Structure 1
Amino acid sequence: MSDVVTPETPEKEDLLTEAEKKALVALKRDEAAALRRWWQRLTLTQQELKAFTPQPPLPRGVRAVLRRCDSAEAAMLTQGFRELWAMLPEATKQTDYRDEQLQVWSCIAVMAAELREEEKDVSLARRLGQQKDLTGKPLMSELRFQQLLSCQTPEEFIQRLRRALALANKQGLSVVLLASVIALWWREHRGRLSAKPTQRLGFVLANDYFAATSRYSHRSD
């Protein structure tokens, strides 16, 4: 049974920063807050978790099982995903798109389980565009970045996201901004393209990636 926080249970932080709230394109704020708390319980030790919440960490091994999943469907069968699903707002679970939401959130669970340490406010693309060891080159090459943008299937998307997180050493980015990118990819994969170009996957990722590379590329020219 999940130890969901009740109104009487004091929490010790504002789960989302103002920058994150503004950057969420495909997630609602209450969804993002639930995800961050779940990730903390999944990843942090009991001692580390005390700084954020009186809730206990999830059982050992739950994260490892999620990391072994090679598809969203496989993740749906895990305790880790069930814990996340239980913590999500009822409106998320009762939507007409329930089957799609199950796929989206199981994919989010798989990828969030890969993240070892968080850096709030840092998006996936910004992290991938950061300079690698003063080489003048980004953590992810522009070619691989373009391949990430052009994924056609959920399996390919999960595979390329795993490679992306490995290049980022599985740290240094926000779990909620990572999840927002995943949810946005699924939205467009289902054919629901935003009428606003600035809220489409290609723009969201490219804007952050090239903003990061511009910080050092001019100096190396």
Structure 2
Amino acid sequence: MTINEKTVGNESELANQCITWWRRNISKEPVENGDTRKRPTAYRATLKRCTSIDDVLVTEAFQQLWLSLPSDIRTPRRMVLVAMLAWLLAAIKQDGPQTIAKAMASKRSPESDSPKVSQIRFQQLVHARTPEEFVSRVRRVLAQLGGTVNVASFVKEVEGWYWQSQSKRTEIEPTRRQTLKWAMEYYESQPRKFN
């Protein structure tokens, strides 16, 4: 197994653990497998009150997610990413069918041609440079979407954004950039204004 394959495997495991954590602790969806226990609401409330990555890092919610990860994934390089994911997942109420970009581009109402998230707000999101700026913008977008996006794709997209934002390489192939992927999906999902 190459280092690159190991990294991809670890990121997939991270995504699976984050989704499981969200379903058990944050989601407002019915519990699977007939489990009728009431889920804690404190994690969602605690994470909503956070104002920085450092605030998230010292919460019980983050610690529970962090400690649920395999030890080879719990590296200092991933700590901020996991904190971002915990903070953002707290803003998702329901697992939906659409990626965040398609959800942003979907119509406000059947009679409207306007997307749920304006092009200006979308541009602000894709131009975010720091993890805290990114989280702030994504949380605003999630609020506009009613807290409903596809959780599995969302986690992977946030991971993609994070690693690209941390990369010193500027020559990342354009089609692999997460922000370009979002732009393509966002604009392709909107009705055409001109032929």
TM-score normalised according to structure 2 size:
0.83
Indicate if the aligned counterparts of 2:26 and 2:89 stay in contact, CA closer than 8 A.
no
Indicate if the aligned counterparts of 2:10 and 2:73 stay in contact, CA closer than 8 A.
no
Indicate if the aligned counterparts of 1:26 and 1:184 stay in contact, CA closer than 8 A.
no
Task: Point out where structure 2 has 5 or more consecutive residues left out of the alignment.
Answer: 1-7
Displacement of 1:55: 10
Q: 2:15 aligns with which of 32, 35, 46?
A: 32
C-alpha deviations, 1:55-96, integer Å up to 9, x for none?
Answer: 966533122101111122111111111111122233211xxx
Task: Point out where structure 1 has 5 or more consecutive residues left out of the alignment.
Answer: 1-24
SS class of match (2:94): coil
Indicate if the aligned counterparts of 1:136 and 1:220 stay in contact, CA closer than 8 A.
no
CA RMSD of aligned residues (A): 2.7
Q: 2:162 aligns with which of 186, 198, 201?
A: 186
1:70-89 matched pairs, under 5 angstroms: 70-89=51-70
Residue of structure 1 in register with 2:181 after alignment: 204
User: Percent identical across equivalent pairs?
Assistant: 24
Q: 1:190 to 1:87 in 2, by over 3 A?
A: same
1:1-221 matched pairs, under 5 angstroms: 28-44=11-27, 48-49=30-31, 51-52=32-33, 59-93=40-74, 98-120=75-97, 122-134=98-110, 135-171=112-148, 173-193=149-169, 195-213=172-190, 217-218=191-192
Q: 1:110 to 1:184 in 2, by over 3 A?
A: same
Displacement of 1:176: 2.5
Q: 1:55 to 1:35 in 2, by over 3 A?
A: farther
Displacement of 1:113: 0.4
Distance 1:27 1:142 in 2: 34
C-alpha deviations, 1:11-70, integer Å up to 9, x for none?
Answer: xxxxxxxxxxxxxx997322222111110111246x922x24869665331221011111
Q: 1:143 to 1:26 in 2, by over 3 A?
A: farther
Equivalent AA in structure 1 for residue 124 of structure 2: Q
